[in-house]
């Protein structure tokens, strides 16, 4: 997923629209769920969804070829993990990088069940640098024909919580989420969680495939872990076309979720004056290290027009920016959400 | 869902993008399925998804208030039904009506299970004209605050195949598909299948609610039944950004689905020269009256650039247009699909 740059103010292009009608975000009212139901979780498919029969599917591992039935006989582990597209928020940048035009909604939190990858890597060759993951989805990007591929360092791939997942929320993976088996790398942006997995292999050199060396890069480096973010459930009710919100005056609980792939979130702040002043919200603990955390804030809403905003800070001191540094592919940007509302009496 | 008009060539607006990142179409490779899996079926939510507890949900009927448990004790029926948004194809019109900017993909075919509505209507008052259906989703459209409402004539609402549905593909309705209960009116565009149903009542006058008298209209009349359409699975593989297809030379089976809410499809034609000449495809029978029908066509692809197209004709003689008559809301338009491909040797 690479990007070209649109002039400031240029309308959304037909190329972007084609992607936006296929792929979809999570409607933000679904932030109410600890675990995102099927069909509400965000979804980005690079090429076409490939369809594999679970009975005939095989995974090539460094030392063996394994079937789904064999994979299911191995020790089973579940992790609840927030996944976010590395391009989330891209369409708000100016000038706008042209690719999948996400606003705020390319996120979801699901429970993934599978078996740890590490034991299946076998004896790691002494000269191995990267572990390369190949999916079944096939297409062209910037003239390069490819099966979708990403790599992890041997150390990262050997983490105990990296899974070969075959279930999402207790059900076999849906076709669009990578059936029958996908990679789950808790804490990393979505491009690393390779769907429709077919092959896992060692590389004795730093992997230079398209999705690592050309796409999914920021400031000359491959995109890795998820930057901190908090999102709120837009309060009140929307206008169909503009999505502008109307809120009843009085006590209103603002709430939502927050997450970071870098460290747990320790602070969420809410602004009701478009970032002039910030107030601490209550933040719940992570139910699991990479599951999103609940936050809430009591607002006494008086009639008028407001821009609500929320920002998160993690335990390592990373805080969401209010003014986003720009990058050419629109990757890993995490500007604080802004929700314009009108409060009526 | 009303629409304003964009100048020819105007870029897609932020309002349209906001809708496109929330709502989503069916990736066309999912035309391979007789029944569309959860999360791949198209989805349009007018306001926010409302969340109801199945235990406390109640439906107001003309003569009684009923719980989900009581509804589930009534005779159970399943119908496999093609649903399509009345605005499908809107974004291809010029000038472009500004609303949810669908291209070709606002469709799906699911098996809906519930109980017939007709016996629950009770004794129809002699002066009843319409049956009005009210959902729980609440918002503004063109300044009109409303719960989502649509009506059917008493005759149409009394059809034996009109259902109060509580399951989709054998599972309880997902939140975004109308949980716990929605209306299913086989043959009609999606706006009639009221989701998150709360009330069913008789009206002694023609219903004049917003979604009937202002939105969802074509040429001065409310939109009703689905016009004929055929869609193909785009062959070969795509480019990420443009979705332009590459196909290998040789024998290629083009296939897809076709449907009409007016009469069964009796003819599907394929063009490989952008509509200059048309060739009959094989069309399967409808598995059920309003389920989509399979079609296929054998193409011997030679290297070069092509625009593939497909059009359907139903038993009442309605044929998809190649040049679409324009209407101000972009409703019920069913221009033949065009798929540009490059065949390589």
Nearest C-alpha neighbor of A174 from the set A43, A58, A291, A47: A43
Q: Does A29 contact B23 at a Cβ distance shorter than 8 Å? A: no
Question: How far is CA A51 from each of CA A48, A139, A177, B38, rounded to the nearest angstrom?
Answer: 9, 15, 11, 15
- Chain B: residue whose CA lies nearest to A39: B39
Q: Does B48 contact A234 at a Cβ distance shorter than 8 Å? A: yes
H or E element in which residue B18 lies: helix B14-22
Q: Are residues A200 and A106 in the same domain?
A: yes
Cβ neighbours of residue B155 closer than 8 Å, sequence gap 6 or more: none
A interface test, pick of B13, B16, B22, B339 with most A CB neighbours within 10 Å = B22
Q: Give the distance from residue B32's alpha carbon to the nearest chain A alpha carbon, in angstroms.
A: 10
Q: Which of B206, B222, B238 is the last residue of a domain?
A: B222
Our measurement of the distance from residue A5's CA atom to the centroid of its chain's CA atoms, rounded to an integer in Å, reads 22
Nearest C-alpha neighbor of B49 from the set B110, B136, B108: B136
Measured distance CA(B330)–CA(B103) in Å, rounded: 11
Average pLDDT of A319-325? 92
Q: Cα(first)–Cα(last) distance of chain B, in Å?
A: 46
Average pLDDT of A23-52? 96
Average pLDDT of A295-299? 98
Measured distance CA(A281)–CA(B289) in Å, rounded: 54
Q: Are residues A161 and A32 in the same domain?
A: yes
Would you say B230 and B295 are in contact if contact means Cβ atoms under 8 Å apart? Answer: yes
A149-208, pLDDT tens digit by residue?
999 999 999 999 999 999 999 999 999 999 999 999 999 999 999 999 999 999 999 999
Q: Are residues B191 and B325 in the same domain?
A: no
- Which residues on adjacent β-strands are paired with residue A59? A66
A interface test, pick of B241, B246, B248 with most A CB neighbours within 10 Å = B241
Helix axes B14-22, A14-22, angle to 10 degrees: 20
Give DSSP secondary structure letters for A305-320.
EEEEEEEEEETT--B-
Would you say A26 and B26 are in contact if contact means Cβ atoms under 8 Å apart? Answer: no
Measured distance CA(B82)–CA(B185) in Å, rounded: 10
Would you say B129 and B195 are in contact if contact means Cβ atoms under 8 Å apart? Answer: no
DSSP 3-state of B120: helix
B213 and A CB contact within 8 Å: no
Residues of A whose CB is below 8 A from B21: 20, 24-25, 91, 101-103, 105
How many domains is chain A built from? 2
Task: Kindly state the tokens that stand for B214.
Answer: 């202002």
B8 and A CB contact within 8 Å: no
For residue A325, what pLDDT is reported? Answer: 87
Q: Does B237 contact A47 at a Cβ distance shorter than 8 Å? A: yes
Q: Are residues A138 and A287 in the same domain?
A: no
Q: Cα(first)–Cα(last) distance of chain A, in Å?
A: 46
Q: Are residues A260 and A118 in the same domain?
A: no
Residue A290 sits in a domain whose CATH number is: 2.60.40.650
Would you say B334 and B322 are in contact if contact means Cβ atoms under 8 Å apart? Answer: no
For residue A234, what pLDDT is reported? Answer: 98
Cα within 13 Å of Cα(B186), Cβ side: 28
If contacts are CB pairs under 8 Å, which of residues 22-41 in chain A contact chain B? Answer: 22-25, 27, 29-30, 32, 37-41
- From the first residue on, what is the mean pLDDT of each consecutive set of 10 residues in chain B (345 residues)? 63 90 96 94 97 96 97 98 96 90 96 98 96 98 97 97 98 96 98 98 97 94 97 98 97 98 98 97 96 98 98 97 91 96 97
Q: Are residues B112 and B93 in the same domain?
A: yes
For residue B95, what pLDDT is reported? Answer: 87
Average pLDDT, rounded, for chain A: 95
Q: Are residues A242 and A211 in the same domain?
A: no
User: Does the pLDDT at position A311 exceed 80?
Assistant: yes
Burial status of residue B276 (CB atoms within 10 A of its CB: 0-12, 13-18, 19 or more): exposed
Residue A182 sits in a domain whose CATH number is: 3.90.420.10
Measured distance CA(A289)–CA(A81) in Å, rounded: 8
Q: Does B241 contact A141 at a Cβ distance shorter than 8 Å? A: yes
Average pLDDT of A115-141? 97
Residues of A whose CB is below 8 A from B141: 239-241
Strand bridging mode A107-116 / A65-67: unpaired
Measured distance CA(A84)–CA(A104) in Å, rounded: 10
User: Is the ipTM reported for this complex over the cut 0.85?
Assistant: yes
H or E element in which residue B135 lies: strand B130-141
Q: Are residues A253 and A340 in the same domain?
A: yes
Burial status of residue A203 (CB atoms within 10 A of its CB: 0-12, 13-18, 19 or more): middle
Which residue intervals of chain A are DSSP H helices? Answer: 14-22, 68-72, 154-157, 210-213
Would you say A54 and A134 are in contact if contact means Cβ atoms under 8 Å apart? Answer: no
Q: Which of A190, A222, A254 is the last residue of a domain?
A: A222
Residues of B whose CB is below 8 A from A91: 17, 21
Closest CB to A12 among B11, B41, B102: B11
- Chain A: residue whose CA lies nearest to B233: A48
For residue B6, what pLDDT is reported? Answer: 67
If contacts are CB pairs under 8 Å, which of residues 304-323 in chain A contact chain B? Answer: none
For residue A12, what pLDDT is reported? Answer: 87
Q: Are residues B25 and B93 in the same domain?
A: yes
Q: Which of B198, B222, B246 is the last residue of a domain?
A: B222
Which residue intervals of A170-286 are DSSP H helices? Answer: 210-213
Q: Are residues A299 and A282 in the same domain?
A: yes
- Which residues on adjacent β-strands are paired with residue A253? A298
Would you say B252 and B272 are in contact if contact means Cβ atoms under 8 Å apart? Answer: no
Our measurement of the distance from residue B104's CA atom to the centroid of its chain's CA atoms, rounded to an integer in Å, reads 11
Q: Does A40 contact B12 at a Cβ distance shorter than 8 Å? A: no
If contacts are CB pairs under 8 Å, which of residues 76-95 in chain A contact chain B? Answer: 91
Strand bridging mode B97-98 / B4-5: antiparallel
Nearest C-alpha neighbor of B292 from the set B268, B316, B318: B268
Q: Are residues B317 and B170 in the same domain?
A: no
Nearest C-alpha neighbor of B81 from the set B42, B111, B107: B111
Q: Give the distance from residue B109's alpha carbon to the nearest chain A alpha carbon, in angstroms.
A: 15
- The total of other beta-carbon atoms located within 10 Å of residue B29's CB is 20
Measured distance CA(A125)–CA(B215) in Å, rounded: 65
Range of the domain at B32: 4-222
Nearest C-alpha neighbor of B137 from the set A237, A185, A23, A182: A237
A344 and B CB contact within 8 Å: no
Q: Does A237 contact B139 at a Cβ distance shorter than 8 Å? A: yes
pLDDT category of residue A24 using cuts at 50, 70 and 90: very high
Q: For residue A70, say if its preceding peptide bond is cis, omega within 30 degrees of 0.
A: no
Q: Give the distance from residue A159's alpha carbon to the nearest chain B alpha carbon, in angstroms.
A: 31
CA torsion B200→B201→B202→B206, rounded to 10°?
A: -80
Query: Of all residues in chain B, what percent are helix, strand and coil, respectively (each to 5)?
Result: 10, 40, 50
Measured distance CA(B91)–CA(B294) in Å, rounded: 26
Closest CB to A241 among B12, B20, B99: B99
Measured distance CA(B314)–CA(A136) in Å, rounded: 38
Residue A30 DSSP class: G
Biggest distance spanned by C-alpha atoms of chain B:
70
Average pLDDT of A51-74? 97
Q: Give the distance from residue A87's alpha carbon to the nearest chain B alpha carbon, in angstroms.
A: 13
Q: Are residues A190 and A78 in the same domain?
A: yes
User: Does the pLDDT at position A9 exceed 70?
Assistant: no
């Amino acid at each position: 997923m690479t990007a070209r740059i649109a002039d400031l103010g240029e309308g959304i292009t037909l190329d972007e629209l084609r992607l936006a009608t296929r792929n979809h975000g999570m409607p933000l009212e679904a932030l109410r769920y600890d675990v995102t139901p099927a069909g509400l979780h965000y979804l980005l498919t690079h090429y076409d969804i490939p369809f594999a029969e679970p009975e005939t599917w095989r995974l090539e591992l460094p030392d063996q070829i394994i079937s789904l039935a064999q994979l299911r006989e191995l020790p089973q582990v579940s992790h609840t993990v927030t996944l976010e597209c590395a391009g989330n928020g891209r369409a708000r940048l100016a000038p706008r990088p042209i690719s999948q035009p996400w606003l705020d909604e390319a996120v979801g939190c699901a429970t993934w069940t599978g078996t740890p990858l590490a034991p299946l890597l076998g004896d790691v060759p002494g000269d191995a640098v990267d572990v390369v993951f190949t999916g079944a989805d096939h297409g062209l990007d910037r003239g390069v024909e490819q099966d979708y591929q990403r790599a992890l360092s041997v150390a990262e791939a050997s983490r105990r919580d990296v899974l070969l997942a075959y279930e999402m929320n207790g059900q076999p993976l849906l076709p669009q989420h990578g059936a029958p088996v996908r990679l789950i790398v808790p804490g990393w942006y979505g491009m690393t969680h390779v769907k429709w997995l077919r092959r896992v292999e060692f590389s004795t050199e730093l992997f230079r495939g398209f999705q690592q060396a050309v796409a999914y890069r920021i400031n000359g480096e491959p995109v890795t872990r998820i930057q901190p973010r908090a999102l709120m459930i837009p309060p009140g009710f929307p206008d169909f076309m503009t999505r502008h919100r109307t809120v009843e005056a009085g006590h209103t609980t603002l709430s939502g979720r927050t997450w970071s792939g870098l460290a747990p979130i320790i602070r969420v702040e809410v602004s009701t004056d478009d970032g002039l002043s910030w107030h601490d919200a209550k933040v719940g603990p992570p139910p699991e290290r990479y599951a999103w955390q609940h936050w809430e804030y009591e607002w006494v809403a008086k009639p008028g027009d407001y821009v609500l905003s929320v920002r998160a800070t993690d335990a390592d001191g990373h805080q969401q920016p209010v003014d986003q540094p720009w990058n050419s592919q629109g990757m890993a940007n995490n500007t604080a959400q802004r929700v314009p509302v009108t409060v009526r009496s």
